Amino acid sequence: MSRISPQAHIDPAAEIGEDVTIGPFSAIGPGVEIGDGTVIDANVVVNGPTRIGRHNRIHSFASIGGDPQDLTFKGEPTRLEIGDHNTIFEFVTFNRGTLKQDQLTRIGSHNFIMAYVHIAHDCTVGSHTVLANNTTLAGHVVVEDHAICGGMTAVHQFCRLGAYCYIGHGGATVRDVPPYVMTNDYPQRPRGINKVGLERQGFSAERIRRLREAYKILYRSELNLDEARARLAAFEDPDVQRIVDFLDASQRSILR
């Protein structure tokens, strides 16, 4: 049974699942779908078209599904989709997509999104990520699974953050960051692999050793990028192949 405060405003065109909690003074607009078991605290605004999955927790003063902050946006019915089991803290802002891409901003599942995070139009955030306070993603950014962004991280539009990478706090990221890589400084610079994060995710010592070897080829050898890619492709290792695939897909070039 859902628990909706009489002081919340729910548009008749919104679709609310089972066992949903919505606190006082929250506003749920038309075109919004909220999945079973999701909890929305007081003073949250959700605009549509937006689909929110199951068992999410959205804290007070978040603004979800707002118009894209893009000068070309003319009111088109673009969308935001959020998966399941996400924790979204106070004053977070998620914008819908634009016609420039897939008309969609997409957030995966099991993400931990801290206060004041901004996810702009047309971003794609995977699953099991951590975005610390004040992380700001410009438009069209891709964040892959298990990536971590430190507090006050700014990511330039169209950048891609690879799986299991760690972005140090307070820096500007203006190029793609390959999987497993750890960065810090301002602007961000590569500093090694995300060893602690990989250990927490159950990577064995041997897997980490091979990723360190791959990192040295990519960042500490005198090989150019094409030569380094060829050396990495010869590993025939699935973890290293993820780096190779990332390099092949990179459009902004990698942080190097």
Q: Compute and round to an integer the Cα radius of gyration of the chain.
A: 20
- The pLDDT confidence band at residue 44, using thresholds 50, 70 and 90, is very high
- Computed over every residue of the chain, the mean pLDDT equals 95
Give which of 139, 153, 133, 59 is closest to 104, Cα–Cα.
Answer: 139
139 catalytic, yes or no? yes
- The pLDDT confidence band at residue 171, using thresholds 50, 70 and 90, is confident
- The pLDDT confidence band at residue 104, using thresholds 50, 70 and 90, is very high
Query: Catalytic: which of 121, 128, 140, 146?
Result: 121
Query: Catalytic: which of 31, 139, 162, 171?
Result: 139
Integer CA distances (angstroms), 131 to 86, 104, 118, 144, 174, in order: 12, 20, 10, 12, 17
**pLDDT of residue 1 exceeding 80:** no
Distance (Å, whole) CA 243 – CA 175: 15
pLDDT per residue over 175-194, tens digit each? 999 999 999 988 889 999 99
pLDDT per residue over 131-166, tens digit each? 999 999 999 999 999 999 999 999 999 999 999 999
Query: Catalytic: which of 41, 122, 176, 239?
Result: 122
122 catalytic, yes or no? yes
CB 109 within 8 A of CB 127: yes
Distance (Å, whole) CA 134 – CA 115: 7
The mean pLDDT value for 214-241 works out to: 93
Q: Is 197 helix (H, G, I), strand (E, B) or coil?
A: helix
Give which of 184, 175, 182 is closest to 153, Cα–Cα.
Answer: 184
Give which of 94, 160, 144, 83 is closest to 121, Cα–Cα.
Answer: 94
Instruction: State what percent of residues in the chain have pLDDT above 90.
Output: 90
CA 165, distance to chain mean position in Å, is 12
